[in-house]
Amino acid sequence: MKIFLAADGSAGLKVARLIKAAGFQWIGLAAPNTSANAAMLKLADAQAVRSFEGSCVKKRDLAKWLREQQVDVILSIHTKYIMIDEVLAAPRIGAFNLHPGPLPAYAGRNPVSWAIYNGETQHGATLHRMTPTVDGGAIVGIAHFPIEPEETALELMAKTSNEGVSLVRDFLQKLAAAEPIIDTPQDSSKSAYYDRRVPQGGQIDWTRTAADVVNFVRAADFGPFPSPWGYPQFKVRGKIYRLIKAQVSERKAEANPGTIYELEDVPMANASDRFVKLVRIDPPELT
């Protein structure tokens, strides 16, 4: 069986290794030429796998090549590029995407961040059949797991990635055993799609609860890596600050939302119900 892999990041490398372990032929790789993909690209080169730039999945030339190579399965692992219909239709068995969120509730961009921002206590990873509707195809595997109270977006993304790779491993094992692929259609009534936008325009709204504010900060925290949302911002006396780390205080709110105090040797801001501890801000001093 021939498999074409479109991937970006560490999960792609893990899946590339799974393909060989399952006894399949890894026929091609579409991946951006970045430092994050260096090990995966090196592995492809060592195994004489043809490499393509990540955006190739948007071109008809790739569809033609996939048909000529008689590719059986396309696996899409955390890639940002949307495949054209001709590419999706090229493999014999189908194209399958690993989505870092539970479908249909968290389709689209940055599902890990949105789940934390929304105050979810549970998240998921989904392996689904790819169709022209982005993240809309039938589910072939899904995993659910808890979100810890202080977990950052980076930490949750790592957990989601690991759970997702396990889904792909199980899927490849079923293919190897010639077991039928069970498609479970998504319930469109429960569907929600998130786009590229940053909630609240990237600004902290102190009229919300302290938990909401802290969730926003956690949802944007991919440190030390860049955040797709940047860091939430707030303004004090006309100067803009970025809130990097925050905690909910036990102290109840005492004044107008957004009022800054120096309490317990930590700067705190009034939210609607409680204070928020400004554990780390940039710049580091409130002036």
pLDDT value, residue 13:
96
Per-residue pLDDT at 183 exceeds 90: yes
pLDDT value, residue 255:
83
pLDDT value, residue 108:
95
Mean pLDDT of the chain: 95
Q: How many domains does the chain have?
A: 2
Among 192, 195, 198, which Cα is nearest to 117's? 198
pLDDT value, residue 93:
97
Cα angle 258, 259, 265; round to 5: 115
CATH number, domain with residue 154? 3.40.50.170
pLDDT value, residue 131:
96
171 and 263, same domain (yes or no): no
6 and 102, same domain (yes or no): yes
pLDDT value, residue 261:
87
- Dihedral (Cα; 253, 258, 262, 264), 10-degree rounding: 40
pLDDT tens sequence across 10-57: 999 999 999 989 999 999 999 999 999 999 999 999 999 999 999 999
Q: Convert 148-188 into a string of H (helix), E (strand) and C (coil).
A: CCCCCHHHHHHHHHHHHHHHHHHHHHHHHCCCCCCCECCCH
169 and 248, same domain (yes or no): no
152 and 24, same domain (yes or no): yes
Per-residue pLDDT at 185 exceeds 90: yes
11 and 62, same domain (yes or no): yes
167 and 233, same domain (yes or no): no
pTM over 0.75? The answer is yes
230 and 162, same domain (yes or no): no
Share above pLDDT 70 across residues of the chain, in percent, rounded to a whole number:
99
Where is the domain boundary, 160, 176, 194? 194
Q: Which domain holds residue 277?
A: 199-282
Residue 287 lies in a domain: no
153 and 176, same domain (yes or no): yes
CB-based contact 77:57 (threshold 8 Å): no
In this structure, are strands 25-30 and 122-129 parallel, antiparallel, or unpaired? unpaired
